[in-house]
Amino acid sequence: MSEVNIMTPEQLQQALDEDKKIEIIDVRENEEVAQGMIPTAKHIPLGNVPEEVDNLNPGKEYVLVCRSGRRSMNASEFLKEKGFKKVHNLEGGMLDWKGELVF
């Protein structure tokens, strides 16, 4: 199993503040996303990640997020297995995210 990088909410906020080229993928379910998402995040429910992987660019940098970090870790590991090199899991997920939300 490949090692997945961890990104703290603070590191992600800093990357967003600096307009870094980073893609956020929210793997929560529809009803969870309705409670707010990180700005610029793309919603791909965990169950849809395998069919959506071909629409993602392996050369881009991704941060995966869920409620607590467990499901997004599974998605991160899946992307790593598919050859994605720059994949991060958001530590603590949305439970630890203190930044802005979009609805």
Structure tokens at 40: 């610029």
CB 27 within 8 Å of CB 49: yes
Identify whether 66 is a catalytic site residue.
Answer: yes
Quick one: which of 4, 12, 1 has its CA closest to 71?
Answer: 4
Set 24, 66, 73, 90: catalytic member = 66
Structure tokens at 44: 């791909």
Catalytic residue ranges: 66
